[in-house]
Chains A and B, each alone.
Chain A
Amino acid sequence: DIQMTQSPSTLSASVGDRVTVTCRASQSISSWLAWYQQKPGKAPKLLIYDASILESGVPSRFSGSGSGTEFTLTISSLQPDDFATYYCQEYNTYRSAFGQGTKLEIK
């Protein structure tokens, strides 16, 4: 099974900051990677799929890059609504796997 490892686990930042979250796969997954945002008590929300394609309605300050085993999620200018937990997900096969999450906190 493919393992997904995110770093950091927690990230403290301020409104307006540019932040990057990294996700590494235990084997190559081409570009079969998605990013989700989750707020407490809510379901995950799809942000990006195929490593870099923005889901409809997601603000353009979110972007994704990478291929193979290393991927990044970047938020260009943090807004108050962005403080949440972010998960990467590989879908190389139907047995998709999620990372353990990166909690983005207000500094």
Chain B
Amino acid sequence: EVQLVESGGGLVQPGGSLRLSCAVSGFIVSSNYMSWVRQAPGKGPEWVSLIYPSGKANYADSVKGRFTISTDNSKNTLFLQMDSLRAEDTAVYYCARASLTGMAVFDYWGQGTLVTVSS
């Protein structure tokens, strides 16, 4: 059975940092295109970052230079390091696997972890 379980969210002050984790079972993280997608309250989802099986990474302009996506193959886990956080980063953050049909069609999602940036 495929499972993605996020953790690491919480309340952080503007300018602070958080590291989100996504523990995966049922498939190998490093063999798949994996993304972080966030959803602010009452809004549609927003793609944040993508990591390729090769290790190459892409970022939305809104987070480029502040967020870093990575994987730990030994733990089969995806990470998102978030630095210089802003109020507009407040959202539920989901990890998602891209389906075999395309690097940006998401067939498996985690349950989400809430990040709140506020003083």
Contact = CB atoms under 8 A, between A and B. Distances in A.
Interface centre among B58, B101, B110, B111 (most CB of A within 10 A): B101
A31 B76 CA distance: 33
Contact of A43 (B58, B105, B111): B111
B53 interface: no
B44 A101 contact: yes
A107 interface: no
A48 B112 CA distance: 22
Given A87-B44, A95-B58, A46 B103 contact: no
B65 interface: no
A4 B110 CA distance: 24
B101 A100 contact: no
Contacts of B117: none
Nearest to B111: A43
Contacts of B94: 43-44
Contacts of B102: 32, 49-50, 91
Closest A-B pairs by Cβ, 9 of them: A43-B109, A91-B104, A96-B104, A98-B44, A98-B45, A49-B105, A100-B44, A96-B47, A101-B44
Interface of A: 32, 34, 36, 42-46, 49-50, 53, 55, 87, 89, 91, 93-101
22 contacts: A32-B102, A34-B105, A36-B45, A36-B106, A42-B111, A43-B94, A43-B112, A44-B45, A44-B109, A46-B107, A49-B99, A49-B101, A50-B102, A53-B101, A87-B45, A89-B105, A91-B102, A91-B103, A94-B50, A96-B47, A99-B44, A100-B44
